[in-house]
Amino acid sequence: MTTATVKGNVLCYKGSNFFRQRLVLSVLSGKPIRISYIRAFEDEPGIKEFEVSLIRLFDKITNGSVIELNETGTSLYFQPGLLHGGTFSHECSTQRGVGYYLEALVMVGLFCKQPLNATLHGVTNNNIDPSADLIKTSMIRAVKNFVLDDEGLEIKVTKRGMLPLGGGEVIFKCPVRKQLRPVQLLDSGMVKRIRGTAFALRVSPAIANRIVDKAKGVLLNFLPDVYINTDQCRGKQSGKSPGFGVHLTAETTNGIIYSAEQVSNVVSNGEDPSIPEDVGEGAATRLLYEIYLGGVVDSSSQALVILCMALGQQDVSKFVTGPLTENAIGFLRHLKEFFGVTFKVAHESDEDSSGRGTQKVVLTCVGIGYKNISKRTI
């Protein structure tokens, strides 16, 4: 990744990397950004459809944003307005899942002027992005640690949609908060139960049962308390394309949830057709891997937790995670550039870690005292 060069008030980046992080942080910090050389030397230069859709989404939730894109789409200037929120619906690009957009909304949702009530249409489950279910069990759960009153913070999957046509619908509601509180979460506890949901869209419902059987087979080696639902989606609820998948969660004695998921391959994209048993086993393996990585949040919420810690009040926050993902490391670097926050990243001093997964990472930081300046007072 490249580091930012500062020209006046503008942070200048190069390349298409971490496009979403940069936009999110720009909106939150109020700093304008300029990104150049976006896939400048590729066959299809410039920003892609899903990124355009993301910019549109940011245009919808902000007021007074200035967006300048050059003709080829290889250079973007984004001057953020104030976060407004409110009720709206957004047609997400099918190139990426709804989760790609939802994650950005989860990051900025608490700092809007009006409570968010967003309806996102598109692909709810794919193999690249976290699905709406995963965001619900992992990220929303993580955010709830940072607000005292989390009433109205919810995600509802009303329709599922798979690649290539999508047709899914997710409703995301988020209240408005003035500030985040500092959190010290160090103990993850032990996994006490595993739950999950398997779904089969526009294919035989027996497939869901086959997934459940296999996933259970793997997980029962570790824990007897495994229960996986099958979600029967009918008619419009099952979207436009066939497919199946499973989403698994593991809850610990301290109420922390690890989640993992896997969906079937898309045959129309030239991939091999998936076997339900493989999907079930794959999801179970991923869940065990998440448990193995450990921490107080699972790997997909690391960036979100890092953001919430940095934006908290001027107090020390402390969090234990598994090894940092590339996404999280990128986020840490970007946070330093946008907000000047440096995290203390250290390994957990482990006394008795045999059989407890990887060595954990302790993230410590002092919040910047971010306040929701869009919020209205009476």
* Rg (the chain; Cα; Å): 21
Least Å from the CB of residue 204 to another protein? 25
Rule CB under 8 A: which of 251-310 touch another protein? 253, 271, 282, 284-286, 288-289, 291-294, 299-304
Residue with Cβ nearer another protein (253 or 268) = 253
**Binding flag, residue 340, another protein (CB under 8 A):** yes
Interaction between residue 95 and another protein (CB under 8 A): no
Stretch that binds another protein, among 165-173, 187-195, 198-206, 233-241 (CB under 8 A): 187-195
Compare residues 237 and 370 and give the one whose CB is closer to another protein: 370
Site map 232..261 versus another protein, x via CB under 8 A: ---------------------x--------
> Which of 14, 56, 60, 173: binder of another protein (CB under 8 A)?
14
Nearer of residues 234 and 376 to another protein, judged by Cβ: 376
Q: What's the token pair of residue 378?
A: 């009476």
Among 134, 153, 201, 309, interactor with another protein by CB under 8 A: 134
By C-alpha distance, which of 258, 285, 57 is closest to 139? Answer: 258
Angle at 359 between CA 358 and CA 363, to 5 degrees: 125
The two tokens of residue 97 are 């899942």
**Is 17 near another protein (CB under 8 A)?**
yes
Q: Shortest distance, CB of residue 165 to another protein, whole angstroms?
A: 21
Nearest to another protein of 202, 336 (CB atom) = 336
